[in-house]
Amino acid sequence: MRRVAVVGVGQSEFVRAYPGSIRELAFEGFREAMQDGGLTPADIDASIVCSAPEYDRQRSPAGVIAEYLGLNPQPTFHVETLCSSSTSGVRLAWSLIAAGLHDVVAVIGFQKMSEISSAESQERMGRGADIQWESPFGTMMPAYYAMYARAHMAAYGTTLEDLALIRVKSSVYGKLNEKAVYRKEVTLPQLSDPQDRMAGPVASPLRVGDCCANADGSSCIVLAAEDKARAFRKKPVWVLGAGAASAPVNLAGRDLFTGLSAAREAARQAYRMAGVGPGEIDVAEVHDCFTIAELMAYEDLGFAAPGEGRELIRSRATYREGKIPVNVDGGLLSKGHPIGATGGSQVRTIVLQLRGEAGPMQVKDPRIGLVHNIGGVGLYGNVLIFGTD
């Protein structure tokens, strides 16, 4: 198989309510990626558009967006694996290039969630679960992750303060990220004060501060075969590993509630393909849709043994200066979570880190970076590993 590299990355600002159309929103991430890689639409052999359905009225958005971005008559595809859609798109693009079907592929993720109300958004997220056996009973994303939080607390003694420390870290770096929707500091006293909005209950034990916010946004990752990559960039960032897995959609079919089995399997595949282990990861982006999700990711990825992830946040090991910096762009908790664009934003962060271009969020001399992106409540799991020459 051919080696594949990332040659261009882009992202719109993540905002609460984008005023334009989905095609205009997609253009913002695409434009930045084109400028970043010194590319034009004529350089793109194929496009992959990634989003979850039913947040806007457009059917088959890939066709509409490809036309708007000037990517006809090249083939275009629509990929959807809920919140992990754009890393599924990156994996597909890597496959197409490695197999020799295309040389340069653009992966465009977007979501315009503000076209519907918060209640409607939660209902659609709930239907990411089984519409026969689970979602009719009112299960929604915060409630699902609250069950995992309860299980982790019962098994390992994890505390509300452990979760709060993750939110505090997120806000430290969210303040530095000009693309983030939430750029305010969150303190431990706030999260402990029942009179503070951030400490308000959502689904016990999760509070407002434990939950990420919906957002509108787009991302774009351009991948290329080795010969093209070296022509576009002096310092390509290579795809070293790409793991993917799934789990039963019904929680009744699962046997693990202190972690996500799909994430563990995807990580195992990605580490094996890349020929590295958890101890060799210099910087990571993990899917922190809720604080408990980041804590479980520490353990699912092997950064800590089961039940010991809390020690990483307590010791600040996951801060920028720590032994395994995680989500030093603010993560979903501060950036916001525009479903189809989220994974692409994570990849963009890691690519900028490996190039040494992450500005005030830059980790010292990283060589290998990891992206962990989850769809639904651990229904889909993608882990990507990137490295420099």
Residues annotated as catalytic (active site), given as ranges:
83, 337
Q: Would you call 157 exposed, middle or buried from its count of C-beta atoms within 10 A (0-12, 13-18, 19+)?
A: exposed
Cα–Cα distance measured from residue 164 to residue 173, given in angstroms and rounded to the nearest whole number: 15
Residue that is written with structure tokens 């959502």 in the block: 202
> What interhelical angle do 118-126 and 141-156 show, nearest 10?
60
CA distance 359 to 83: 27
d(CA 17, CA 32): 20
Ordered DSSP codes for 77-121: EEE-BTBTHHHHHHHHHHHHHHTTS-SEEEEEEEE-GGGS-HHHH
Instruction: Indicate left, alpha or beta for 365 from its phi (over 0: left) and psi (-120 to 50: alpha).
Output: left
205 phi and psi, to 5 degrees? -90, 5
